[in-house]
Amino acid sequence: MKVLITGGAGFIGSTVATRLLQEGDVPVLLDDLSRGRAEFGDPLGDGRVLYRGDIADEALVERILTEHPDIEAVVHCAARIVVPESVADPLTYYRTNVAKPLTLVRTLLRHGVRRFLFSSTAALYEPGEDFTVTEESAPNPTNPYARSKLMLEQALADITAAEPLRVLSLRYFNPVGADPELRTGLQDPYPSHALGRLIQAHEKHEPYVLMGTDWPTRDGSTVRDYIHVWDLAEAHAAALHRFDAIVAEEGPHPVINLGTGRGTTVRELVAAFDEVTGGTLEVVEAPRREGDVIGCYTRVDKAERLLGWRAAKTLREGIADSLAWAAKRPSVLGE
Ligand SMILES: NC(=O)c1ccc[n+]([C@@H]2O[C@H](COP(=O)([O-])OP(=O)(O)OC[C@H]3O[C@@H](n4cnc5c(N)ncnc54)[C@H](O)[C@@H]3O)[C@@H](O)[C@H]2O)c1
Ligand SMILES: O=c1ccn([C@@H]2O[C@H](COP(=O)(O)OP(=O)(O)O[C@H]3O[C@H](CO)[C@@H](O)[C@H](O)[C@H]3O)[C@@H](O)[C@H]2O)c(=O)[nH]1
C-alpha cells in the first residue's frame, strides 16, 4: 500500500514510515520541516520520498497525488505539539491543528483518497477514579493543544457523515524510545518531557527534578502510560491493513487508544531509568508543574480486538532505546 504521511519527517511520522517500509508498504512524506528533519527523509536511502511543504498548500498536495495516483491512505501526523506553546500562541495551534488539516482533507476528497488515520492524543481525556480510560471515557481537554486535537476529531466525524471520507482516530498515550535500529528518533536533544529530562540529568550529572509529589496516587507522583514508539508504529501498519474491515464493523469514524494498558508513576519511571543505566539519579522534589494533570492509562481491549495488536516492548526497552538514540542523534542529524 502506498501511504502519504504528513509530518513524516517528525518523530512519530518518520518511525511509522520505517515500520511501513519493513512491512512492504511505500511511504510518501509531506513535511514543512518546521520541526521535522530532512535527514529523516530521502537521505535514509530506503525508498521513502520527502516532499517539503505545508499540508494546506493545495497545489503541492495536488502535485503529490498526481505524481503518486496509487496513494491509498493518509497518516496525518503533522501538527504543533507543545502544550505550553499552545497556551502562549493558540492561534497558530488552531490554524495548524484544525484549519490546515481541513484544507488537506478537501484536497484528498477531490482526489478520491478516503482512508485517513489521525494522530490524536490521550491528553484530551479526563481520567476516571482508577486512572484508567477507554475510548468511551468523557473527553475534557484542559489546554489549547488538546482542544485542537479534539476539535479536529469532531470535525472529521461530521465530515465522515456527509462525505465518503473514513477516519480512524488513534489516541496516543506517551511515546518513548526510538526506531530500534536508530535511523530516527526525537529531533530535540533535550525534550522537556519526563524521560527527556531524565536523560539530560544522567548525561550532565545533574539532579532530576520531580515535579509534584502530593497527587492522590500510590506514591504521590503522576501516572502515565508510556508506549514504545516502535509498537505505536506497528499499530499504524495494522490499522492501515485492516482499515476497511474496521470501518465496516465500527462505522465511518472509529477511535482507538494506543497505549500499553499499564500505568507508571514518575517515581516508577525514575526507578526503571536507574535500573537501565545501573546508576542512581539524585532526585530533587519540587511543586507540581503548572497545568499538570494526574494522568491516566488505557484499557487495551478495543485496540486488541480491532487491530489484533498489543504493545510488546517494555518500558525498560523504551528507556534503553531513548538513551541509545540520544547518543547517536548528533551523528544522524549531522550536528
Ligand atoms: N509525541 C507525543 O508525545 C505525542 C502524543 C500524542 C499525540 N501526538 C501526535 O502525534 C503527531 C506527531 O507527533 P510527533 O511527536 O512526531 O511531533 P513532531 O513535531 O516530531 O512531528 C510533527 C511534524 O509535523 C510537521 N509539521 C508541522 N506543521 C506542518 C504543516 N503545516 N505542514 C507540514 N508539516 C508540518 C513538523 O515539521 C514535524 O516534522 C502529532 O499530531 C501529535 O499531536 C504526539
Ligand atoms: O522534568 C520533569 C518532567 C516531567 N515531570 C513530570 O512527569 C509527568 C509526565 O510529564 P510529560 O513527560 O511531560 O508527559 P505529559 O504531561 O503527559 O505530556 C506529554 O504527553 C502528552 C500526551 O501524550 C503530549 O500531549 C504532551 O505534549 C507531552 O509533553 C508530569 O507529571 C510532569 O510533571 C517531572 O516530574 N519532571
- Residues 166 and 332: their CA atoms lie apart, in Å, by 36
- Residues 88 and 228: their CA atoms lie apart, in Å, by 30
8-35 pLDDT, tens per residue? 999 999 999 999 999 999 999 999 999 9
257-308 pLDDT, tens per residue? 999 999 999 999 999 999 999 999 999 999 999 878 899 999 999 999 999 9
Task: Tell me, in angstroms, the distance from the centre of ligand 1 to residue 24's CA.
Answer: 24
- Whose alpha carbon is nearest atom 28 of ligand 2? 193
- Residues 268 and 263: their CA atoms lie apart, in Å, by 10
Whether 58 and 51 have beta carbons less than 8 Å apart is answered as no
pLDDT confidence band for 127 (50 / 70 / 90): confident
- Residues 167 and 17: their CA atoms lie apart, in Å, by 19
Instruction: Confirm whether 171 is domain-assigned.
Output: yes
Instruction: Confirm whether 165 is domain-assigned.
Output: yes
Task: Tell me, in angstroms, the distance from the centre of ligand 2 to residue 35's CA.
Answer: 19
Q: What percent of the chain has pLDDT over 70?
A: 100
SS3 assignment, position 319 = helix
Instruction: Give 12-62 as a DSSP string.
Output: HHHHHHHHHHHTT-EEEEEE--SSS-GGGSGGG-SS-EEEES-TT-HHHHH
Neighbours of 31 (CB within 10 A): 27
SS3 assignment, position 116 = strand
Is 297 assigned a catalytic role?
no
Backbone φ, ψ for residue 321 (5° rounding): -70, -35
Whether the per-residue pLDDT at 169 is higher than 90: the answer is yes
Alpha helices in 164-242 (DSSP H): 194-204, 229-241
Instruction: Confirm whether 156 is domain-assigned.
Output: yes
- Per the structure, the count of domains in the chain is 1
The C-alpha R_g of the chain, in whole angstroms, comes to 19
Instruction: Confirm whether 73 is domain-assigned.
Output: yes
Instruction: Confirm whether 291 is domain-assigned.
Output: no
Provide the mean pLDDT of the chain: 96
55-114 pLDDT, tens per residue? 999 999 999 999 999 999 999 999 999 988 999 999 999 999 999 999 999 999 999 999
Backbone φ, ψ for residue 162 (5° rounding): -115, -15
Instruction: Confirm whether 138 is domain-assigned.
Output: yes
Instruction: Ligand 1, residue 34: give the atom nearest the CA.
Output: 37
- Residues 73 and 124: their CA atoms lie apart, in Å, by 25
Instruction: Confirm whether 49 is domain-assigned.
Output: yes
pLDDT of residue 130: 87
Domain that holds residue 53: 2-177+226-260+296-313
- Residues 313 and 152: their CA atoms lie apart, in Å, by 30
Residue 30, strand partner residues: 6, 51
**Nearest ligand, measured from the Cα of 224:** 2
How do strand 226-228 and strand 49-52 relate by DSSP bridges? unpaired
- What are the strands, taking DSSP E only, across 45-114? 49-52, 71-76
Record the cell numbers describing residue 326, joined without a space.
540520544
Q: Which of 51, 93, 125, 145 is catalytic?
A: 145
- Whose alpha carbon is nearest atom 23 of ligand 1? 7
What mean pLDDT comes out for the span 200-224? 96
Task: Tell me, in angstroms, the distance from the centre of ligand 1 to residue 97's CA.
Answer: 9
Indicate whether this complex's ipTM tops 0.90.
yes
Instruction: Confirm whether 191 is domain-assigned.
Output: no
CATH of the domain at 166: 3.40.50.720
Whether 78 and 59 have beta carbons less than 8 Å apart is answered as no
Instruction: Give 140-167 as a DSSP string.
Output: ---SHHHHHHHHHHHHHHHHHHHSS-EE
What mean pLDDT comes out for the span 208-233? 97
What mean pLDDT comes out for the span 127-151? 92
Those residues whose C-beta lies under 8 Å from the C-beta of residue 15, and which sit 6 or more positions away, are 178, 179, 184, 185, 229, 230, 232, 233
What mean pLDDT comes out for the span 177-198? 94
